[in-house]
């Protein structure tokens, strides 16, 4: 049996991976359906966390610290990115007095 | 790093011949440097002193040429240089096995050519500084002139065919620029285009000949081509077709440059340029290139006698045809232009009967008297306010005595009057034709003698009409030639204030007031104009004697000087490079030299006497004869209808073909080219809705793409 098959059939790991996948899909659906720019941004953060959960779960499963340390970096980057994105959202709000992303569709064919 | 002392010690060890080659390499560089200097600072700094670098440049070239001439004609360095010396300085370019060097080929032929080319050019440059004074674009003119001379010297001194071709194209370009110098004039532009296009025909032939030479000899250097395998009969037999096509194509190249039938039509129109340019083209730099090429390639021609004879036949025909046309022209410059075509025909006749020395001798004398004739005509034109119609002027000798005497000397030389330059050189060609081993030679000589009679007649027709008889001045006499360049008023005024000693306001003077001025300041112009005329007149009178005096035995200086150049019938031996150059052409003795001279001289005097009667003593009789021979005169006045034949036979069909192709091009544009334009537009129109500007749709696109990729990967890993 090869390791890939093993990892997905392991019952404990499978639950964590499922949690990660659920988080990711929730974020994805939110990203695709929401119009509020802050909500869209939050959806991307949720997708992020889904990925982070996956990383930690697999890291634990393989007894390898790489994944967990990588998540530390990931969260740092996410924090920096969050501040930047929120700053941009504030700038956009000041321009048009709205958070509706559909108001920003000037670049189109 | 370059050490001058090392260079000196290295150069000091060279044999004199190689020193001479290094010296010769300087000759094209002086005019080239002058051209660059004038082009760079002529417009802003030099302005009306633009002639100074040009004259200095060509004068230095002339001095170097004289040194070479001394080296070759006397044993001044302990070694009489009579053979060919060649040296390659650097590689121009290499491609595979082809290495084209910058190099010099020195032998008496190139040394003689380079001497008179630079010498005559120097006189023409000095003349131009007076003639063109105050003209708009003065510096441009001298830059072009320097380029012309530089290209011609490269052509003459090159040691391989491709370098000759460089000079060949250079003179073509320079002549185009100079003929079209008065570019606001339609006729000047047309003449420049015509000269360029006709020359291109010859250039193409020459280029193909060069390719064939490389294919046959695997080298383009003269030494390898002429003294290599060409000498072996088995090699020639193995390349029989090449040995036919190479000289034939070289011949057409030479014929375009030297204005021979059927490519002569550009030269008479080339007088649209300023008169010194005509002098330069006709005497020194352009038309002599074709003669030089064939004289240089004589070793090839001598192994294909039919082509060599074709050269002679076409040359003779051209000589006759152009002479008849010159009889019935009224524009003074046009008469001299056709006389050039005719005299070049003589040169090719000489080459055709393997009398290269005689042909080159005629080039040499012709350079003097034709430059003289054109420059004198320029003085007439200058004084008459641009008028050159010989029907509108008469008796000018009273007003411009120096010009008249100079032009008389040139006319005597052209007519072949005994003692003057043209007499000896023309006689040398005709007696060579008469004594040729080829049975056609005497026939060429007979046509040549008839042409000599016609030549004497038309030359003195022009001279007597213009300078003798009652004084008649055209209305424009004394005015400065109207400029074709329309300029703002201030520069216009400046130009007139400097105009050649005749200070006429823009309103202009009539003939009477010009008459009044003419008593004080003769029409001869400034010394920079009549000075060169006098020198050329002395040359045209005397250089012919070089053909009978000064050589070894009973030969003239020219014949013994050129005797080692392999271009003459009967020459069997050339010491270096490699010994032994058998040429299969021999000479016979049909006519003694004295007899030939007597016949030629008699015909010249006869022609002059006919002209004397009809155009000085009794001009009314000329009109009667003219009306009696109306159809012939019309035929000749229209130059044998060559321009019309070419127009309806070549230009119009090509024009129609052009229209058809233009229409075809429209069809192609409409279907093929526009398809390639419309197809991306169509694709863009289809894909345009995907760029909606809505973030969510982009997100959906990304996700569906991701899903597609994941499904694809899973499918492949199943």
- ipTM confidence score: 0.81
pLDDT score, position B57:
92
Place of tokens 């992303």: A101
Rounded Cα distance, B324 and B268, in Å: 14
Record: contact B699-A108, CB cut-off 8 A: no
Confidence band (pLDDT; 50, 70, 90) for B553?
Answer: low
Strand, coil or helix: B258: coil
Residues of B in contact with A109 (CB under 8 A): 684, 687-692
Q: How many residues does chain B have?
A: 718
C-alpha pair distances (Å), B162 with each of B106, B145, B199, B503? 16, 23, 17, 50
pLDDT score, position B583:
46
Q: Which residues contact B16 (CB under 8 A, 6 or more apart)?
A: B71, B77, B78, B79, B81
Strand, coil or helix: B568: strand
By C-alpha distance, the chain B residue nearest A44 is B699
Minimum distance, in Å, between the CA of residue A79 and any CA atom of chain B: 22
The answer on pLDDT for B620 being more than 60 is: yes
Q: Which residues contact B378 (CB under 8 A, 6 or more apart)?
A: B127, B131, B274, B275, B276, B278, B279, B529
Quote the percentage of chain B above a pLDDT of 70: 87
Residues of A in contact with B705 (CB under 8 A): none
The answer on pLDDT for B317 being more than 90 is: yes
Record: contact A109-B696, CB cut-off 8 A: no
For the segment B685-714, the average pLDDT, to the nearest whole number, is 88
The answer on pLDDT for B123 being more than 60 is: yes
pLDDT score, position B478:
67
Residues of A in contact with B687 (CB under 8 A): 109
Instruction: Give yes or no for B693 touching A (CB within 8 A).
Output: yes
pLDDT score, position B131:
83
The answer on pLDDT for B1 being more than 60 is: no
pLDDT score, position B490:
39
Rounded Cα distance, B64 and B42, in Å: 26
Q: Which residues contact B168 (CB under 8 A, 6 or more apart)?
A: B151, B155, B203, B206, B253, B257, B289, B293
Instruction: Give yes or no for B691 touching A (CB within 8 A).
Output: yes
Higher pLDDT, B188 or B229: B188
Record: contact A108-B692, CB cut-off 8 A: yes
Higher pLDDT, B430 or B386: B430
The answer on pLDDT for B36 being more than 50 is: yes
Candidates B134, B8, B44; CA nearest to B502 is: B134
Record: contact B692-A28, CB cut-off 8 A: no
DSSP for residue B613: I
Confidence band (pLDDT; 50, 70, 90) for B238?
Answer: confident
DSSP for residue B79: S
By C-alpha distance, the chain A residue nearest B702 is A32
Interval B641-650: pLDDT, tens? 888 888 888 8
Rounded Cα distance, B55 and B484, in Å: 26
Residues of A in contact with B710 (CB under 8 A): none
Hey, CA dihedral for B589, B593, B597, B599, is it positive or negative?
Answer: negative
For the segment B321-339, the average pLDDT, to the nearest whole number, is 89
The answer on pLDDT for B506 being more than 60 is: no
The answer on pLDDT for B211 being more than 90 is: yes
The answer on pLDDT for B577 being more than 60 is: no
Instruction: Enumerate the β-bridge partners of residue B106.
Output: B85
Task: Find residues 9-28 of chain A whose CB sits inside 8 Å of chain B.
Answer: 28
Instruction: Give yes or no for B505 touching A (CB within 8 A).
Output: no
Minimum distance, in Å, between the CA of residue B678 and any CA atom of chain A: 18
pLDDT score, position B486:
52
Mean pLDDT is highest, among B340-354, B389-403, B622-636, for B340-354
Instruction: Enumerate the β-bridge partners of residue B221.
Output: B160
**For all residues of chain B together, what is the average pLDDT?**
82
Record: contact A105-B696, CB cut-off 8 A: no
Options 1.10.287.3510, 1.10.1040.10, 1.10.1270.20, 1.10.357.10; CATH for A11-100 is: 1.10.287.3510
For the segment A23-42, the average pLDDT, to the nearest whole number, is 91
Cβ-Cβ pairs closer than 8 A, A with B, add up to 32
Which pair of tokens denotes residue B526? Answer: 């400034």
- Burial group, residue B63, by CB count within 10 angstroms (0-12, 13-18, 19+): middle
For the segment B433-462, the average pLDDT, to the nearest whole number, is 87
DSSP state letters, B179-237: HTSSTTSHHHHHHHHHHHHHHHHHHHHHHHHHHHHHHHHS--BHHHHHSSGGG-HHHHH
Confidence band (pLDDT; 50, 70, 90) for B136?
Answer: confident
pLDDT score, position B397:
83
pLDDT score, position A2:
55
Confidence band (pLDDT; 50, 70, 90) for B491?
Answer: very low
Instruction: Give yes or no for B699 touching A (CB within 8 A).
Output: yes
pLDDT score, position B499:
41
Confidence band (pLDDT; 50, 70, 90) for B494?
Answer: very low
Q: Domains of chain A: which residue ranges?
A: 11-100
Which pair of tokens denotes residue B488? Answer: 């703002």
Record: contact A109-B692, CB cut-off 8 A: yes
Residues of A in contact with B700 (CB under 8 A): 32
Confidence band (pLDDT; 50, 70, 90) for B551?
Answer: low
For the segment A58-69, the average pLDDT, to the nearest whole number, is 90
Candidates B137, B115, B142; CA nearest to B33 is: B142
pLDDT score, position B249:
93
Hey, CA dihedral for B531, B534, B536, B538, is it positive or negative?
Answer: negative
């Amino acid at each position: 049996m090869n390791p890939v098959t093993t990892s997905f059939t392991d019952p404990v790991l499978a639950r964590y991976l499922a949690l990660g996948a659920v988080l990711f899909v929730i974020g994805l659906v939110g990203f695709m359906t929401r119009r509020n720019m802050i909500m869209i941004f939050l959806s991307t953060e949720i997708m992020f966390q889904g990925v982070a959960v996956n990383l930690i779960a697999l890291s634990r499963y393989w007894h390898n610290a790489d994944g967990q340390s990588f998540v530390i970096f990931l969260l740092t980057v996410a924090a920096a990115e969050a501040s930047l994105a929120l700053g941009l959202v504030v700038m956009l709000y000041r321009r048009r007095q709205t958070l509706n992303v559909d108001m920003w569709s000037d670049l189109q064919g | 790093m370059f050490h001058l002392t090392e260079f000196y010690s290295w150069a000091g060890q060279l044999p004199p011949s190689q020193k001479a080659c290094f010296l010769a390499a300087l000759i094209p560089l002086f005019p080239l440097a002058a051209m660059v200097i004038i082009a760079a600072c002529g417009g802003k700094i030099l302005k009306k002193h633009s002639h100074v670098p040009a004259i200095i440049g060509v004068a230095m070239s002339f001095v170097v040429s004289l040194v070479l001439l001394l080296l070759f004609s006397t044993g001044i360095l302990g070694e009489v240089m009579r053979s060919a010396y060649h040296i390659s300085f650097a590689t121009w370019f290499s491609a595979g096995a082809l290495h084209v060097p910058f190099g010099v080929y020195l032998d008496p032929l190139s040394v003689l050519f380079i001497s008179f080319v630079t010498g005559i050019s120097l006189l023409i440059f000095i003349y131009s500084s007076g003639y063109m004074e105050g003209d708009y674009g003065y510096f441009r003119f001298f830059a072009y002139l320097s380029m012309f001379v530089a290209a011609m010297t490269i052509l003459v001194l090159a040691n391989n065919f491709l370098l000759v071709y460089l000079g060949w194209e250079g003179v073509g370009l320079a002549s185009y620029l100079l003929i079209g110098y008065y570019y606001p004039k339609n006729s000047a532009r047309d003449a420049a285009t015509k000269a360029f296009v006709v020359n291109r025909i010859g250039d193409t032939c020459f280029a193909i000949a060069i390719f064939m030479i490389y294919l046959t000899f695997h080298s383009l250097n003269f030494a390898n081509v002429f003294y290599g395998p060409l000498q072996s009969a088995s090699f020639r037999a193995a390349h029989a077709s090449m040995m036919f096509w190479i000289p034939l194509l070289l011949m057409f190249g030479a014929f375009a440059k030297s204005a021979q039938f059927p490519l002569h039509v550009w030269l008479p129109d080339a007088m649209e340029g300023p008169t010194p340019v005509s002098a330069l083209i006709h005497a020194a730099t352009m038309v002599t290139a074709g003669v030089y090429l064939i004289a240089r390639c004589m070793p090839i021609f001598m192994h294909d006698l039919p082509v060599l004879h074709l050269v002679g036949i076409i040359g003779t025909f051209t000589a006759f045809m152009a002479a008849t046309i010159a009889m019935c022209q009224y524009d003074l410059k046009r008469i001299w232009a056709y006389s050039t075509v005719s005299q070049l025909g003589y040169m090719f006749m000489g080459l055709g009967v393997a009398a290269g020395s005689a042909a080159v001798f005629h080039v040499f004398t012709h350079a003097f008297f034709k430059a003289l004739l054109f420059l004198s005509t320029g003085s007439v034109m200058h004084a008459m306010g641009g008028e050159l119609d010989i029907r509108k002027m008469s008796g000018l000798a009273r007003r411009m005595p120096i010009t008249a005497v100079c032009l008389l000397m040139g006319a005597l030389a052209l007519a072949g009057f005994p003692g003057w330059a043209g007499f000896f050189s023309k006689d040398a060609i005709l007696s060579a034709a008469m004594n040729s081993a080829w049975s056609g030679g005497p026939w060429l000589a007979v046509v040549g003698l008839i042409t000599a009679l016609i030549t004497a007649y038309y030359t003195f027709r022009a001279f007597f009409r213009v300078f003798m008889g009652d004084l008649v001045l055209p209305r424009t006499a004394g005015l400065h030639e109207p400029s074709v360049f329309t300029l703002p008023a201030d520069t216009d005024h400046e130009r007139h204030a400097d105009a050649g000693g005749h200070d006429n306001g823009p309103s202009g003077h009539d003939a009477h007031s010009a008459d009044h001025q003419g008593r004080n300041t003769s029409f001869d112009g400034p010394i920079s104009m009549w000075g060169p005329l006098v020198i050329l007149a002395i040359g045209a009178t005397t250089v012919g004697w070089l053909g009978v005096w000064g050589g070894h035995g009973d030969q003239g200086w020219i014949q013994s000087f050129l005797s080692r150049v392999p271009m003459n019938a009967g020459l069997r031996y050339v010491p270096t490079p490699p010994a032994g150059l058998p040429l299969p052409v021999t000479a016979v003795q049909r006519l003694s030299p004295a007899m030939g001279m007597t016949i030629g001289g008699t015909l010249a005097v006869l022609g002059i006497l006919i002209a004397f009667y009809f155009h000085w003593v009794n001009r009314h009789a000329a009109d009667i004869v003219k009306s009696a021979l109306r159809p012939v005169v019309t035929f000749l006045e229209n130059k044998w209808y060559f321009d019309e034949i070419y127009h309806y036979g070549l230009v119009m069909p090509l024009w129609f073909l052009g229209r058809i192709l233009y229409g075809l091009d429209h069809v192609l544009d409409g279907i093929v080219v526009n398809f390639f334009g419309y197809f991306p537009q169509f694709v863009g129109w289809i894909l345009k809705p995907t760029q909606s500007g809505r973030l969510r749709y982009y997100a959906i696109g990304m996700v569906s793409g991701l899903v597609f990729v994941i499904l694809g990967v899973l499918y492949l890993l199943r």
